[in-house]
Structure 1
Amino acid sequence: MFKRSHLSFLVSLSRNMAGHSKWANIKHIKGAKDSERADLHMKLFRQIKAVIKEQGSSDPKQNIKLAHLVEQARQHNVPVEKVHQVLKSAAQSQEDLKQYILEVRGPKGTFFVLEVLSTSYLKAKQGINTINRKFNGSWADGVSNNLFNHKGLIKVSPLSQGQTLEQVLDDAINVGAEDVTAEEEGHFVFTCNPRDFFNIRRAINQLGYNVIESDLHYIPLSRVLIESEEDIALVSKLYSKLEEEPDVVKIHDNIE
């Protein structure tokens, strides 16, 4: 059932991308630095390679998932020539990457849902096992289903100055979104079932909306607040180690 919500910008999206807590600010600053480094680009390239293998097409016009990743590469300032090189290389690659979801329990009630691309499940777990031992972490199988909601979030600019949430509701219903919310800066965020994400994103584009950013997120049902500087430093180190794993392409957490 479509919910006519008037909440400001989805808390889950704002915290995943750049919130106001100490933890969110740490991730936001770190993300800004990482975007200038080759390892962030390499994670995008691995995703591109996997999607081409999965969908059987290296043409973004024919492969909607690939088109989404190419757009993400553009947003992260990857040169166009580099993207073309990656598309050509990925089409010829024999590496069989598969996506896995790994779930980790960290210190202080934290949980991490890791999106991983690897040639095997066992290989994917090996590097994370080493990190778990160092930080007293453990596997938390099932938390992505029990403690998180998996949703597609699509943030757009208004079609015209002064466009209201009520005016956007009809478009949200027509494209099959589950919800739409208004952000203080005047942007709107569509929420949808992950299975419908790519089709809904395309439909929103076809209506004339400019998509600012969009992605699939694991949104925690509740969050834990880490208050002490010592605990923040500990969890930040764990997060960094997880992020440094070559096979890990995306991290979701339940931290306030």
Structure 2
Amino acid sequence: MFQKVPKGLLISFSRNMAGHSKWANIKHIKGAKDAERAALHLKLFRQMKAAIREHGSADPKQNIKLAHLLDQARHHNVPVEKLKHTLKSAEQEKSTEDLKPYILEVRGPRGTFFVVEVLTASVFKTKQGINTINRKFHGSWAEGVSNNLFKHQGWIKVSPLSVDQTIEQVVDDAINVGAEDVTADEVGKFIFSCNPRDFFNVKKAIYQLGYSIIESDLLYIPRNRIQIESEEELALVSKLYSKLEEEPDVVKIHDNIE
């Protein structure tokens, strides 16, 4: 039902690498709303404070987890002044809650599953809140799905070093940095994948090779995706997803929906 996450593995929000489906469009529209964007920023700030407490430094050069969170914040257009204020206040704060990362697993309508990453000082209190959501919005606990139905993977998308760089050349770099695989997408960008425990080191090594990192994250990628054709069923799933996302302790949700 839930797992404690090894320290250093919990990152900020991301999309699930799905295509332009109805479900992907729903999540994109939600993310563009001011209220959802503000909530996402707050969750990022919370993670930054926890990273500073965990590693004892507000210097991203000394705190690789914080450096990654700052990358995520910039990707989500968090204002620079807000970032500076967050880092300063987190460094000065002496009584930050001892927040720890956990994985919670939820089953939704029509064979949908959600891997829910939370950052909390009390996982039991967080579970109580999600339990209430499950009862009201057709959800239930789904122990083991994060391991059985999803693959946990580091994901780093980069621009080519040159216009004529080939995938064969990038494979050599992937081997050198410790990545497990590298692919090219439909617009000529390269995507490195790696063991989640190696994510921060692989990302740093890719950057040191001169690559411009477009996006990077730790993802739970579904082994199989399902399609929801009915508008009514899609609305049910969307409601459950929205309510889970509104929980203050929830920092990221992964799903198996096409």
Instruction: State TM-score, norm by structure 2.
Output: 0.90
Q: Deviations over 1:15-46 (max 9, x none)?
A: 71452211112112222225873211001011
1:133 equivalent in alignment to 2:114: no
Equivalent residue number for residue 177 of structure 1: 179
- Equivalent runs, 1:1-256 vs 2, <5 Å: 16-17=16-17, 19-33=19-33, 37-91=37-91, 92=93, 93-256=95-258
Deviation, 1:80, is 1.4
Q: 2:45–2:86: 8 Å Cα contact kept in structure 1?
A: yes
Equivalent residue number for residue 5 of structure 1: none
Q: 1:117–1:124: 8 Å Cα contact kept in structure 2?
A: no
Indicate how the Cα distance of structure 1 residues 151 and 159 shifts in structure 2: closer, same or farther if over 3 A, else same: same
Deviates more, 1:79-88 or 1:164-173: 79-88
Deviation, 1:139, is 0.7
1:90 alignment partner AA = A
Q: Number of residue pairs matched?
A: 243
In 2, the alpha carbon distance for the partners of 1:229 and 1:18 equals 18
Q: Deviations over 1:143-187 (max 9, x none)?
A: 111111100000000000121111111000100000000011110
Query: What is the RMSD computed on CA atoms of the aligned residues?
Result: 1.5
2:212 alignment partner AA = N
Structure 2: where are the runs of 5+ without partners?
Answer: 1-13
2:249 alignment partner AA = D
Q: 1:60–1:66: 8 Å Cα contact kept in structure 2?
A: yes
Partner SS state of residue 16, structure 1: coil
In 1, the alpha carbon distance for the partners of 2:38 and 2:23 equals 24
Q: Deviations over 1:196-233 (max 9, x none)?
A: 00000000000000000000000111111111111111
In 1, the alpha carbon distance for the partners of 2:98 and 2:156 equals 29
In 1, the alpha carbon distance for the partners of 2:237 and 2:211 equals 38
Moved over 4 A (4+): none
Deviation, 1:135, is 1.6
In 1, the alpha carbon distance for the partners of 2:182 and 2:236 equals 36
Deviation, 1:188, is 0.4
In 2, the alpha carbon distance for the partners of 1:35 and 1:68 equals 24
Indicate how the Cα distance of structure 1 residues 192 and 161 shifts in structure 2: closer, same or farther if over 3 A, else same: same
1:103 alignment partner AA = E
Percent sequence identity over aligned pairs: 78
Q: 1:152–1:193: 8 Å Cα contact kept in structure 2?
A: yes
In 2, the alpha carbon distance for the partners of 1:150 and 1:34 equals 30
Structure 1: where are the runs of 5+ without partners?
Answer: 1-13
Q: 1:176–1:200: 8 Å Cα contact kept in structure 2?
A: yes
Instruction: State TM-score, norm by structure 1.
Output: 0.91
Partner SS state of residue 115, structure 1: strand
